[in-house]
Structure 1
Amino acid sequence: MPLMPDRAAPSPAPPVLKRATLVDVAAHAGTSTISVSRALRRPAMVSEGLRARIMQAVQELGYVSDTAASALASRRSGVIGVLIPSVADAVFGDLLDGLYDAVAATPYTLQLGNTRSDAATEERLIRIHLGQRPAGLILAGIDQSSAARAALERAECPVVQIMDLTENPVDMQVGFSHHAAARTATGHLLARGYHAPAFIGARIDPRTERRLAGYREAMAEAGLAHRARVVTTPKPSSVGMGSTLFRRLRQYAPDADAVLCNDDDLALGALFAAQRAGLSVGREIGICGFNDLDVMAAAFPALTSVRTPRREIGAAALSMIATRLWDGDVAPPIRDLGFKLMVRASTERV
């Protein structure tokens, strides 16, 4: 009878690696689970030395927070939604820098949505984000549709409206007054001796309308309402559009001796058009922008502009969401971070 070959012994099963827990990290670092949780969620509450020990333990043990379990327990995800009207506009790029810097010190992540300045798109994105049970929602502006506002008011998470101010926010808000900023800029032009400041604007959205209202109010207070000159277009803002609107202004109101531009792109375009026309910027024509992007100080001549606290608004909004989630109370729930007029050569009438 032939001998049957011996069967190979079965290979031993690979060892099952135990997933490190919060308790394991605490034991490895020689501290409590509460301290570990604080170090991971709110680093500023833990001393630097203890935080370093905890983070070393996390790395050595390969600890990974179970965000899915946390989401099930809290009925929220670890995501904070952010809705802005443009991802190409440098203004919102600065805002996002502030948000991402601030979120790095929290256990949350950001999920970005681009509304493209369209009310229907904004409403759809609000519903999508809220359907994902976010930890919080941050959105630019205060002019949501009635349906969008109703959805936000029913949200089971903190909501922060940013970049503007209203007396009746959905929940919390942080921003500045566009009306007051434009009023201040117009007052500056009048104080510098310009007698007929004009206003040029593109993409006439609610923020533009508030800036235009601030301009008109300052002109009226100076007894110059009859000399107000306004040139606008529904088309998007750009440097080229600024040149076009400035040339249109010169044809429509040749007596205009200064211009408040709705944003810095328009101000740059106005600068280039004025120089091509042989005008002395500052002496013959004053130019003021809005937002104070870096290029305003680098231009020649340097351009006066309203500096808006974009990075600070982003950081504050994230802080308000985190504080509401961790502590429950946010005081104050409405924060006006103000603005600053950066006066430069373009409005020096010498």
Structure 2
Amino acid sequence: MSRRSRRNSGRVTLDDVARHVGVSKITISRALRQPDKVSAPLKTKIEHAIELLGYIPNRQAGSLASARSHAIALIVPSLSNGVFSEVLRGVDEVFQQSGYQVLLGHSGYSIHEEERLVNTYLSYGVEGFIVSSGQHTERTLALLKRSGLPVVEMMGIPKAPLDMAVGLDHEAAGHAITSALIELGYRNIGFGGARMDFRAQERLNGWRRALREHGLDDTACLTTFSPSTYHLGGALLNDIVGRFPATEAIFFCNDDLAAGALFECQRQGLRVPTDMAVAGFNGMDITDVVSPRLTTVVTPRRPIGERAAQLLLKRLNAEPVEARVVDLGFTLALRDSTSIERA
């Protein structure tokens, strides 16, 4: 197979491994199928070549090497999080009429599970990837780079994108909502975070930068790697207030936590925002139906999915891509939960 065809198929072949080792393709195939039939030194040499070249066995048994799968892999960290369900709808709408099948993978916020999924999907001959992460293991980076396939990283704006990226600047968003709270007159502003993946960490960094720019204290911060729940939002509210009693407003890294904190305030008889102001992140539906309505950062979740799919489809169709990195931004929804009208 020519180098050009290998790049287009996104696959290192047995021929490539055989040439590197200096044996026949049949010998490599035998070593993979019946490793006990080859000598230990040769087996070690073959294993080293496979790891070095990034060879992945083709599980499409019986298909021609040049056959196209017409499948793309979409890897998200959660299937239950409403944020990603909207992203999925955006991706699916674009690919429905394209002739491509979307293979969905769930990483559970683990870069190591993402690595396993990437390796598996490559073995099935997918033609491109959409991944909702800007952080990857070294092996994932190597696998994707060696494959030569188009890749779109979505949700954030990585400093060094693998190929293409669509999302928003989470650090800037965290800075913007915190700055808005400061402009409303709040000075003792806390932060509550869960999951604390790199996006949540960037929101935390934005909160901290805004406070420091105004000479305000940034110690009222509690985070956990536990999944976000309404119950956890209430617990974080109680812990922050218990440790930092001067806290008058809290920015939570997502709307689930913020809603849970609001419910906990109501359970305790705390007036929002008179006794405590609450802000969230993402702009989920719940923020506009609770009372008082929650202040939040509204993120373009569905448009992110749509744009990511459009970029990948352009590359698959050999069409020019005007911008490899697309920042779709965010908007602030300043609502009743952060009104400055306090007693």
Query: Normalising by the residue count of structure 2, what TM-score does the alignment of the two structures yield?
Result: 0.79
Corresponding residue SS for 1:324: helix
1:203 maps onto 2:195 in alignment: yes
1:94 maps onto 2:86 in alignment: yes
2:270 alignment partner AA: L
Q: Deviations over 1:278-324 (max 9, x none)?
A: 22212221111000101110010000111111100111111011111
Aligned to 1:344: 335
| Structure 2: distance between partners of 1:217 and 1:335 | 24
Aligned counterparts, 1:9-24, within 5 A: none
1:136 maps onto 2:128 in alignment: yes
Q: 1:232 aligns with which of 214, 223, 236?
A: 223
More off after superposition, 168-177 vs 320-329: 320-329
Q: Deviations over 1:1-36 (max 9, x none)?
A: xxxxxxxxxxxxxxxxxxxxxxxxxxxxxxxxxxxx
Q: Deviations over 1:57-106 (max 9, x none)?
A: xxxxxxxxxxx9xx958543111100011101111001001111111131
Aligned to 1:190: 182
1:254 maps onto 2:254 in alignment: no
Report deviation, 1:335: 0.3
1:285 alignment partner AA: M
Q: 2:99 aligns with which of 103, 107, 110?
A: 107
- Runs of 4+ aligned structure 1 residues displaced above 2 Å come to 71-76
1:294 maps onto 2:285 in alignment: yes
Whether contact under 8 Å (2:208, 2:218) holds in the other structure is no
Whether contact under 8 Å (1:75, 1:133) holds in the other structure is no
Aligned counterparts, 1:158-177, within 5 A: 158-177=150-169
Report deviation, 1:131: 1.7
| Structure 1: distance between partners of 2:220 and 2:147 | 43
Corresponding residue SS for 2:147: coil
Identity of aligned residues (%): 36
Report how many aligned residue pairs link the two structures.
Answer: 280
Report deviation, 1:150: 1.3
1:272 maps onto 2:263 in alignment: yes
1:163 alignment partner AA: M
1:287 alignment partner AA: V
Whether contact under 8 Å (1:87, 1:114) holds in the other structure is yes
Whether contact under 8 Å (1:197, 1:228) holds in the other structure is no
Whether contact under 8 Å (2:212, 2:218) holds in the other structure is no
Larger Rg: 1
Aligned to 1:327: 318
Question: Could you list the runs of 5+ residues in structure 1 that have no partner in the other structure?
Answer: 1-67
Aligned counterparts, 1:66-105, within 5 A: 75-105=67-97
RMSD: 1.5
2:328 alignment partner AA: L
Q: 2:205 aligns with which of 213, 218, 229?
A: 213
Aligned to 2:232: 241
| Structure 2: distance between partners of 1:79 and 1:325 | 11
| Structure 2: distance between partners of 1:155 and 1:301 | 51
2:273 alignment partner AA: G
Corresponding residue SS for 2:102: strand
Aligned to 1:284: 275
Corresponding residue SS for 1:154: helix
Aligned to 2:41: none
| Structure 2: distance between partners of 1:74 and 1:317 | 26
| Structure 1: distance between partners of 2:122 and 2:162 | 14
Report deviation, 1:277: 2.4
Aligned to 2:111: 119
More off after superposition, 234-243 vs 147-156: 147-156
| Structure 2: distance between partners of 1:105 and 1:196 | 51
Whether contact under 8 Å (1:200, 1:260) holds in the other structure is yes
Report deviation, 1:342: 1.1
Q: Deviations over 1:28-47 (max 9, x none)?
A: xxxxxxxxxxxxxxxxxxxx
| Structure 1: distance between partners of 2:147 and 2:183 | 47
Whether contact under 8 Å (2:272, 2:337) holds in the other structure is yes
Q: Deviations over 1:175-194 (max 9, x none)?
A: 10110000001001111111
Whether contact under 8 Å (1:219, 1:228) holds in the other structure is no
1:304 maps onto 2:328 in alignment: no
1:265 alignment partner AA: D
| Structure 2: distance between partners of 1:198 and 1:168 | 31
Aligned to 1:25: none
Q: 1:326 to 1:195 in 2, by over 3 A?
A: same
Whether contact under 8 Å (1:86, 1:114) holds in the other structure is yes
Corresponding residue SS for 1:198: strand
Whether contact under 8 Å (1:189, 1:286) holds in the other structure is no
Whether contact under 8 Å (2:74, 2:130) holds in the other structure is yes
| Structure 1: distance between partners of 2:315 and 2:81 | 29
